[in-house]
Structure 1
Amino acid sequence: MKKVCLRVAAIISLFVFTSATMAFAGGFQIYQAAAPDAMALGAATVGRDDLVSNAWYNPAAVMDFKETRYNSGYSLARINWEYEPGNGLQKLKVKDKIQIVPGSHLIHPINDKYTAAFSFYTPFGLGMKWNDHDIRRLIDSGLYNDPAASPPGMLVSKAVPTTADLKVPYFNTTVATRLSDKLSVAGGLSFIKADFKLRFLSRGIILPATVAWDNFVEYRADGWGLGYVLAGHYNTGKDWKFGVRYLSNADVKMRGTVESHPTAGNTYMKGTLKLPSTLTVGFVNSSIERWQLSCDIMRTEWSRFEQLKIDPRYAWQPADGGFTAPKNWKNTLSYRFGAEYKYCEHWTLRGGYVYDNSPIPDETRNFELPGTDGHIFSLGAARKTGKYIFDIGYSFMLLEKGKAGTTPLNGVGEFTGANNHFLMFSYTMTL
């Protein structure tokens, strides 16, 4: 027992160390990339009770594990967006970049009544970077970003984002217990770390000196937050299993700096990152021999993201340097379907599909995140060898076209969609 506890402590330390050094994820919510088995199943896993990734997707579904299990892996994401400005102007493309999304999970039976689960994952993240010369060319054309994002005290100001980076890793710690032979529940805390960078090209005339301004302004901030997770799992004892999971919303107090601001120069800023809650319900059916079919529905509380607001950090600072940009996002539902086939004792094959609604209205769609409704097609496989399981998962995300925001881009042009690729590898071992 002592050796197992030491191993658990070492792995928790590894989680914390890893969380400080990992690259950011692509897209604001990366729900399906916590593990390759989940990725291959379209993350329709809240009803499953045999995956180590249950530590993240449903920590109540871990009571059948009799030994300590550890899973760790990485997802490689290739993000691709294009913008068609119209008026004969050349199409804009994001910089081609491979992004990394880590995931690590641990399940440890404490005794016959309680099981602990630990999970490190980055469920929210953003990685958009456009070419500086393309953005400068766009401003030259007369299109402009949200005027509210332009610095105060400027005339004929224009501002278009070139870079938007956000990484929000979660470290979940939960404990599960059985209320009956069929029903188990779990609860725990989410420790949240957020890092944010926003860079945009700003152009205008500073009043009253009528000094021309044309420069890149950069905001950087980080902060910590706390949330909680609740979950339940019900096994009918026959062919049906049901699951539910609630991840709370959280307010992360951000502190940071702004650099190269036209009127404030280099100064201190603050803001609040409002993360949404998610509620997932689903089921699994195993009535067909060797098959497990699953379906999940997830609601995300994106309506909390009403605006992007950055303020001066201290009372003695002037109002210059901050801004408020409306977002007015809406709550969404995503529909997830998965199928798993146990080919033999050593091989398992998986596939999945997701229809994911975008929270972003046409009015505020922008370069920092031009999200639209999407379709995700996935597949994967697992190889079991002794006490190890090796998993691979692949997802292809097809995003639909979307009109340019009437607020930030004057409704000119459109984002022509994206073809994004995710590839994930992991290993699972018994400790």
Structure 2
Amino acid sequence: MNNRKILPLSVILSFALSSSAAFASAFQSFEQNASDLGDAYSGIAATADDASTEFSNPAGLTRIKHPEVAVSTVLVDASSDFTATGATSQGNNILNTAASVKDEPLGLNPLPAFHYATPITDRLFFGFGLTVPFGLSTDYDKDNAARYFATRSKLMTLNIGPSLAWKIIEPLSIGAGFDVQYLKANLDQQVDVGGLLDPLTPGTSRNMDATIKNTADDWGVGYHLGLLYQITQKTRMGFLFRSPVHYRLEGKSKVTYYNTSSGDEDTLEAQGLRNSNIDANMSLPAYAVLSLVHDFNREWAAMSSVSYTRWSRFQDLTLRFHSNAPPVTIKENFHNTLRYALGANYRLNDRWLFRFGTAYDNSPTNNHWRTVRLPDADRIWWSLGLQYKPMKQLAVDVGYSYIYIKNGNIYQSEPNSTTLSGYYDNNYANLFGLQLNWTFI
């Protein structure tokens, strides 16, 4: 077996499992290639210009004339300033005792992808991809005022997706495939063990925390469908549907105590605050994309997309502990979202293509339900990119997007009189993309 052929796939696989930050609404990712980053993914279900169409619309595989590989990564550099304006634990004000009321929970994350496409016959086509369709990464200091709601949150996915496409008649193609998807979640936070112990031992006061690290994972299965229709010689329409994926997450909850006596730890463990197995049910949403591409002439083309994501299925996440600890429910109360995108391409010659685009990305949350684990808000994209073909077999795409993210307020509370209020401002992201396309001619 040729190890040189296996190496790129193994690199993509390990790279994908280290990636976590998506940058469409909530923790969805449209960044499954870098070629469409330059026009804000404004025609993703209809462009079908390279092997990445196997993910964005499998019916577009019928436009691939020769075997082709596309490898890409989009680097997400996100920034957001969090400021706490109020915080209590067990009913006690902790805002003045917290070491920090400000934090920057976002950071730098890559989103890699691998795509392969090939014709089998004149009418039948095959595609395969490794992608990261959903991801989340936020991180607060362990002494921040938000620590009793979240410190580190990380959600990673890896999608393995084969597809087939069939050209029914010359203007109409359909495609379908299934998705085998891995999900891993890390949900960490601090616990005010001093506040838990004080009522049990009147006359004493303890100022101490414990760290809880919750880790769980699972595999799920879904499917995807696509349609591509050439309306006229210059206009085509594409449609993509991707199904929800359901998980039964299982893993571990690990508790680490600091500066507590063995007697205190025995007391806390008797209440369920100890290492244990955990499980949770989680579903990633279905979504659909409708795109239109129109070629005005050889130089200019315009594209647009409307995307719908059924986030209303994601209302909460309940962690169940296999101990006597009560379950913990993280309320999200998401609503369904729409994303609108417009773009244009200008082809200078056979070697150079320039891309431009903008998009409005609706958030599934709002000021009433925003959480520190997912401080999302509406976004506006401004994008540009280019493609260079140094030879017939090779195309290099680069793209850039600046994303403006609206400011947002937050108020969270727990039944044990633990609360947090604050706001997020100076929110934005820079996305840098690079893609290599190789055609086997």
Q: TM-score, normalised by structure 2?
A: 0.85
How far off its partner does 1:126 sit? Answer: 0.4
In the aligned structure 1, how far is the partner of 2:353 from the partner of 2:27?
27
CA contact 1:404–1:410 (8 Å) conserved in 2: no
Counterpart secondary structure, 2:163: strand
CA distance in structure 2 between the partners assigned to 1:85 and 1:333 by the alignment: 30
User: In structure 1, how many angstroms separate the alpha carbons of the residues matched to 2:438 and 2:379?
Assistant: 34
TM-fit CA distance, 1:132: 2.2
The answer for the alignment partner of 2:259 in structure 1 is: none
- Paired residue for 2:41? 43
Residue 412 to residue 21, structure 1, CA distance change in 2 (3 Å): closer
Superposed displacement of residue 185, structure 1: 0.2
Partner SS state of residue 48, structure 1: coil
- State how far apart, in whole Å, the 2-side matches of 1:38 and 1:30 are: 16
Change (3 A) 1:308 1:170: same
The answer to whether 1:383 aligns with 2:377 is: no
Q: In the alignment, what sits opposite 1:198?
A: 187
Equivalence map 1:290-309=2 (5 Å): 290-309=299-318
Q: Within 5 Å, which residues of 2 pair with 1:162-311? A: 162-203=151-192, 204-206=195-197, 209-210=200-201, 214-260=209-255, 262=268, 263-311=272-320
CA distance in 1 between partners of 2:149 and 2:425 (Å) = 18
2:379 alignment partner in structure 1: 374
Q: 2:140 — aligned with what?
A: 130
Give 1:397's match in structure 2, choosing from 382, 399, 403: 403
CA shift, 1:123, in A, is 1.3
CA shift at 1:321, angstroms? 6.0
Superposed CA offset, 1:152-192 (max 9, x none): xxxxxxx2201100111211111000111100000010110
Number of the residue aligned with 1:142: none
Other-structure match for 1:81:
80
**Cα distance change of structure 1 residues 132 and 91 upon mapping to structure 2, 3 Å threshold:** same
Amino acid at match of 2:77: R
Q: Is the 8 A contact 2:80 2:106 kept in 1?
A: no
Deviates more, 1:17-26 or 1:86-95: 86-95
Asked whether the equivalents of residues 201 and 217 of structure 1 are also in contact (C-alpha less than 8 Å), the reply is: yes
CA distance in 1, matches of 2:212, 2:5: 40
C-alpha change, 1:370 and 1:33, in structure 2 (3 Å) is same
C-alpha deviations, 1:394-428, integer Å up to 9, x for none? 11111001111354685732122511111111111
Matching residue's letter, 1:61: G
Distance in 2 between residues matched to 1:321 and 1:72, nearest whole Å = 45
Could you say if the C-alpha distance between residues 350 and 80 of structure 1 is closer, same or farther in structure 2, counting changes exceeding 3 Å?
same
User: How much is the aligned-residue C-alpha RMSD, in angstroms?
Assistant: 2.5
One-letter code of the match for 2:154?
A: D
Are the counterparts in 2 of residues 403 and 411 from structure 1 also a CA contact under 8 Å? no
Q: CA deviation at 1:63?
A: 0.8
Q: Secondary structure at the match of 1:123?
A: coil
DSSP 3-state at the match of 1:337: strand
The amino acid of 2:242's aligned partner reads L
Query: Residues 113, 277 of structure 1: CA spacing in aligned structure 2 closer, same or farther, 3 A cutoff?
Result: same
Contact 1:364–1:407 under 8 Å retained in 2: no
* Structure 1 counterpart of 2:251, one-letter code: G
Q: 2: distance between equivalents of 1:49 and 1:21?
A: 25
- Report the CA distance shift for 1:243/1:422 in structure 2 as closer, same or farther (over 3 A): same
Judge conservation of contact 1:357–1:374 (CA < 8 Å) in 2. yes
- The offset of 1:85, in angstroms, is 2.3
Query: Aligned pair 1:421/2:430, yes or no?
Result: yes
Give the CA deviation at 1:195.
1.0
Q: Who is 1:155 aligned against? A: none
Question: 1:23-76: CA deviations, max 9, x gaps?
Answer: 223144353321111111211221113232211111101212221000002111
1:111 CA drift (Å): 1.0
1:160 and 1:256 map into 2 onto residues whose CA distance is: 20
Distance 1:21 1:289 in 2: 38
Structure 2 equivalent of residue 354 of structure 1: 359
Structure 1, residues 327-361: CA drift from partner, whole Å, max 9, x if none? 11100000011211101111110011110011013
Asked whether the 8 Å contact 2:29–2:135 carries over to 1, the reply is no
Counterpart in the other structure of 2:110? 100
Question: How many residues of Structure 1 are paired with residues of Structure 2 in the alignment?
Answer: 400
* Aligned partners of 2:276 and 2:323 also within 8 Å: no
2:336 aligned with 1:327: no
Unpaired runs of 5+ in structure 2?
A: 87-94, 257-267
Task: Please state if 1:341 is matched with 2:346.
Answer: yes
Partner of 1:18: 12
- Please report the TM-score for the alignment, with normalisation by the length of structure 1: 0.86
Helix, strand or coil: the match of 1:51?
coil
Contact 1:26 1:79 (C-alpha < 8 Å) held by counterparts: no
